[in-house]
């Protein structure tokens, strides 16, 4: 699904990631950990082609990101659900329209079948018509998760998806991710939440990647 | 100023709705298009008026010439007769006749009054010539006249007509140039507005890209919005412009060229194309700006 081959990334003379070679196989579940500023978000942005590697090759669905035309990259992103740390929305559109956005831009705006269930599941059914600025941090995060999964993507990339959520909602989110993983979806979650990782590892063979000294390492079983 | 345009957010399609409806760029586009359409109506009117003037001047003096016979009073009628004889045998001359005293008096009346005693004054005899479309050999005629009637001077109106026709033609050209410049200015303004809108909506573009929107989809959202506003703005500007032109003094009243500024007959249909042209200009300008900006934002 996603493959890095000797990937390095630097910006403004600062090297952030170096010599990364790894593969996220279809149906795998990975956590990405590391200290703040280690490059977790940069790694995720490389994963969906928002950033291009300084050196090395990133392959998405067996296609070199660098060789993808802009429209091809857009089509590739439709196969990926992305939850950003800052949870950006179109602030002038109601929440339901925001969650529907991946369907809308891909010409499937009329497929609203799962929207009500999804909004209920993330506990936002009462906020269908609310505008994003009216939402709390936790509500925005849940909405971002709902938007990421509404297309039933092959890959879900989530950057600190539980950062603003209480324990109960974190567990519900994890359950959703686990269910999606059992359906064959590839999951990569950047998080500091060790409890979340332990809970997940108890249920699926999740692997933990740790960014340390600009490199991504497979973490031990101590987590 | 934003009230210049009606609320058009309801007209935006589902694609255009992904762009926030507010912002000064939206009404600025409509206002610019409206103002430019208003000015374009006048430029069109100028162009048509100049065209009519050129045609009128050209038609009025076309296929005519005048021979002025200045001679002592005892020779003037003989020379005028000789001139008419020469003209009757000149190829390209359809008809020729000497103006009567009354006709000459009416020609001079604006300067000397209606009671001018033409008979007692040494006024040249005027001979009016109507030529065929092919025209005549003016040089040859002048040579023959100098031999037969030394006091005859041929005036083929060229020195009057040519500069007037050239002036009217240039006025028409000025009108067309004005319309072109107005269109170019509108395109430039809309491009600036579109660029500003794209820059101020960088977050919207980022979110759309994140969920897999292609450039064409994002560009379409902006293009539709700007095209619609330009068309509606131009429609309003055109309506105001046409009303203003219709209130100009009637061309029938005295006053010359300025009172002839306006539209006649089917000419009134031409300004109706301005909103369409404005929409096309906005479409092309916004599309070019959008794709350029989207490439920059990658």
How far from A115 is each of A97, A122, B68, B155, CA to CA, in Å? Answer: 10, 11, 95, 89
Three-class SS state of B262? coil
CA B226, CA B211: separation in Å to the nearest integer? 24
| Tokens coding B140 | 């040859």
Relative orientation angle of helices B158-200 and B24-61, to the nearest 10 degrees: 170
Q: B17 to chain A: which residues are within 8 Å by CB?
A: 93
Residues of B in contact with A50 (CB under 8 A): 209-210
Q: How far is B197 from chain A (nearest CA, A)?
A: 15
Residue B207 has its nearest CB partner, among A76, A90, A109, at A90
Query: Would you call A123 exposed, middle or buried from its count of C-beta atoms within 10 A (0-12, 13-18, 19+)?
Result: middle
Strand partners, A32: A190, A209
Instruction: Tell whether the model's pLDDT for residue A1 goes beyond 60.
Output: yes
Which of B22, B197, B210, B222 has the most A C-beta neighbours within 10 Å, making it the best mutation to test the interface with A?
A: B210
Contact partners, residue B178, CB within 8 Å, separation at least 6: B39, B40, B43, B46, B47
Q: Each residue of B158-189: pLDDT tens digit? A: 777 778 778 878 877 888 888 889 888 888 88
- Cα dihedral value B202, B206, B212, B213, nearest 10: -10
Contact A102 B211 (CB under 8 A): yes
Judged by CB atoms closer than 8 Å, whether chains meet at B212 and A147 is answered as no
Give the three-state DSSP class for B7.
Answer: coil
Q: Tens digits of per-residue pLDDT, A147-206?
A: 999 988 999 999 988 887 788 888 888 888 898 898 899 999 999 888 889 888 888 888
Chain B hits for A91, CB-CB cut-off 8 Å, are 20
| Helix B138-148 vs helix B76-88: crossing angle, to nearest 10 | 140
Which of B20, B206, B212 is opposite residue A88, by nearest beta carbon?
A: B206
Exposure on the CB side of residue A110, measured as CA atoms within 13 A:
0
* Probe site for chain B from A72, A74, A155 (most B CB atoms < 10 A): A74
Nearest chain A CA: its distance from B43 CA (Å): 41
- Tell me how far the alpha carbon of residue B37 is from its chain's centroid: 15
First to last CA, chain A: 25
ipTM value for the complex: 0.84
The pLDDT > 90 percentage for chain B reads: 15
CB atoms within 10 A of CB A120: 11
Angle at which helix B24-61 crosses helix B215-246, to 10 degrees, equals: 50
Interface A-B, measured as beta-carbon pairs within 8 A, has a size of 61
- Give me the sheet containing A155-159, strands edge to edge: A80-83, A155-159, A186-190, A29-33, A207-212, A215-218
Helical (H) or strand (E) element with B131: strand B125-131
CB contact under 8 A, A102 and B212: yes
Q: What is the pLDDT of residues B1-23, one digit of tens each?
A: 444 455 555 555 666 677 777 66
Tens digit of each residue's pLDDT, chain B (298 residues): 444 455 555 555 666 677 777 667 777 888 888 998 999 998 888 888 888 877 777 777 778 889 999 888 788 889 999 999 999 999 988 889 998 888 888 888 777 777 777 677 778 889 999 888 888 888 898 899 888 888 899 887 777 777 877 887 887 788 888 888 988 888 888 888 878 888 888 888 888 988 999 999 999 888 888 888 889 999 999 999 999 998 887 765 555 555 577 888 898 999 999 999 989 988 998 898 888 888 876 5
Query: What separation, in Å, do the N-terminal and C-terminal C-alpha atoms of chain B show?
Result: 35
Whole-number Å distance between alpha carbons of B3 and B119: 72
Q: Are A211 and A33 in contact (CB under 8 A)?
A: yes
Is the CB of B211 less than 8 angstroms away from the CB of A75?
Answer: no
Q: Which residue of A has its CA nearest to B17?
A: A93
- CB distance A77–B212 less than 8 Å? yes
B→A interface, C-beta within 8 Å: 14, 17-18, 20-22, 203-204, 206-217, 294, 298
Q: What is the pLDDT of residues A29-81, one digit of tens each?
A: 999 998 888 899 999 999 999 899 999 999 999 999 999 988 899 999 999 99
Q: Three-state SS string across chain A, please?
A: CEEEEEEEEEECCEEEEEEEEEEECCCCEEEEECCCCCCHHHHHHHHCCCCCCCEEEEEECCEEHHHCCHHHHHHHHCCEEEECCCCCCCCCCCHHHHHCHHHHHCCCCCCCCCHHHHHHHCCCHHHCCCCHHHCCHHHHHHHHHHHHHCCCCCEEEEECCCCCCCHHHHHHHHHHHHHHHHCCCEEEEECCCHHHHHHHHHHCCCEEEEEECCEEEECCCCC
Q: Which residue of A73, A83, A92, A155 is the best one to mutate when testing the B interface, meaning the one whose CB has the most B CBs within 10 A?
A: A92
* Contact between chains at A71 and B14 (C-beta distance less than 8 A): no
Contact A90 B20 (CB under 8 A): yes
Chain A residues lying within 8 Å of B21, measured CB to CB: 92
Cβ distance of B212 and A90 shorter than 8 Å: no
Chain B: residue nearest A97 by CA?
B18
Which uninterrupted H or E stretch holds B109? helix B101-112
Three-class DSSP category at B94: strand
Contact check, Cβ <8 Å, A105/B298: no
Nearest beta carbon to residue B210 from set A75, A76, A82: A82
Q: What local confidence, expressed as pLDDT, does residue B162 receive?
A: 76
Three-state secondary-structure class, residue B126: strand
pTM: 0.69
């Amino acid at each position: 699904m996603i493959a890095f081959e000797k990937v390095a990334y630097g910006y403004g003379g600062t090297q952030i990631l170096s010599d990364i070679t790894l593969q996220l196989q279809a149906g795998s579940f990975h956590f990405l950990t590391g200290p703040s500023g280690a490059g977790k978000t940069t790694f995720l942005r490389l994963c969906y082609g928002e950033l291009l590697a300084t050196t090395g090759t990133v392959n998405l669905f067996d296609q070199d990101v660098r060789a993808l035309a802009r429209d091809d990259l857009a089509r590739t992103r439709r196969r990926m659900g992305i939850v950003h740390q800052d949870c950006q929305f179109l602030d002038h559109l109601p929440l339901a329209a925001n969650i529907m956005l991946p369907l809308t831009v891909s010409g499937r705006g009329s497929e609203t079948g799962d929207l009500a269930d999804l909004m209920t599941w993330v506990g936002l059914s009462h906020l269908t018509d609310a505008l994003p600025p009216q939402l709390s941090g936790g509500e925005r995060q849940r909405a971002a998760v709902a938007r990421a999964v509404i297309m039933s993507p092959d890959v879900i990339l989530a950057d600190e998806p539980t950062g603003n959520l209480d324990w109960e909602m974190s567990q519900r989110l994890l359950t959703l991710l686990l269910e999606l993983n059992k359906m064959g979806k590839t999951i990569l979650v950047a998080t500091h939440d060790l409890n979340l990782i332990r809970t997940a590892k108890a249920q699926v063979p999740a692997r933990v990647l740790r960014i340390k000294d600009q490199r991504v390492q497979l973490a031990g079983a101590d987590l | 100023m934003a009230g210049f345009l009606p609320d058009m957010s309801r007209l935006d399609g589902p694609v255009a709705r992904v762009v926030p409806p507010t912002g000064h760029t939206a009404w600025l586009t409509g206002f610019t298009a409206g103002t430019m359409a208003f000015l374009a109506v006048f430029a069109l009117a100028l162009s048509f008026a100049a065209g009519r003037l050129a045609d009128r001047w050209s038609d009025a003096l076309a296929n005519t010439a005048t021979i002025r016979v200045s001679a002592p009073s005892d020779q003037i009628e003989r020379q005028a007769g000789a001139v008419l004889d020469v003209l009757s045998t000149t190829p390209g001359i359809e008809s020729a006749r000497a103006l009567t005293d009354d006709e000459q008096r009416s020609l001079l009346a604006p300067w000397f009054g209606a009671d001018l005693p033409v008979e007692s004054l040494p006024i040249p005899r005027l001979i009016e010539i109507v030529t065929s479309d092919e025209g005549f050999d003016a040089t040859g005629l002048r040579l023959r006249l100098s031999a037969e009637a030394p006091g005859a001077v041929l005036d083929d109106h060229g020195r009057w007509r040519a500069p007037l026709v050239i002036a009217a033609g240039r006025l028409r050209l000025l009108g067309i140039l004005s319309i072109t410049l107005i269109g170019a200015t509108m395109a430039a303004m809309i491009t600036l507005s579109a660029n500003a809108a794209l820059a101020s909506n960088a977050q919207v573009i980022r979110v759309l890209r994140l969920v897999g929107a292609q450039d064409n989809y994002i560009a379409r959202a902006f293009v539709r919005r700007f095209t619609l506003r330009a068309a509606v703005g131009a429609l309003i500007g055109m309506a105001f412009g046409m009303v203003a032109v219709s209130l100009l003094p009637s061309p029938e009243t005295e006053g010359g060229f300025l009172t002839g500024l306006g539209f006649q007959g089917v000419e009134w249909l031409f300004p109706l194309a301005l909103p369409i042209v404005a929409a096309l200009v906005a479409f092309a300008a916004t599309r070019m700006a959008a794709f350029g900006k989207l490439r920059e934002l990658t």
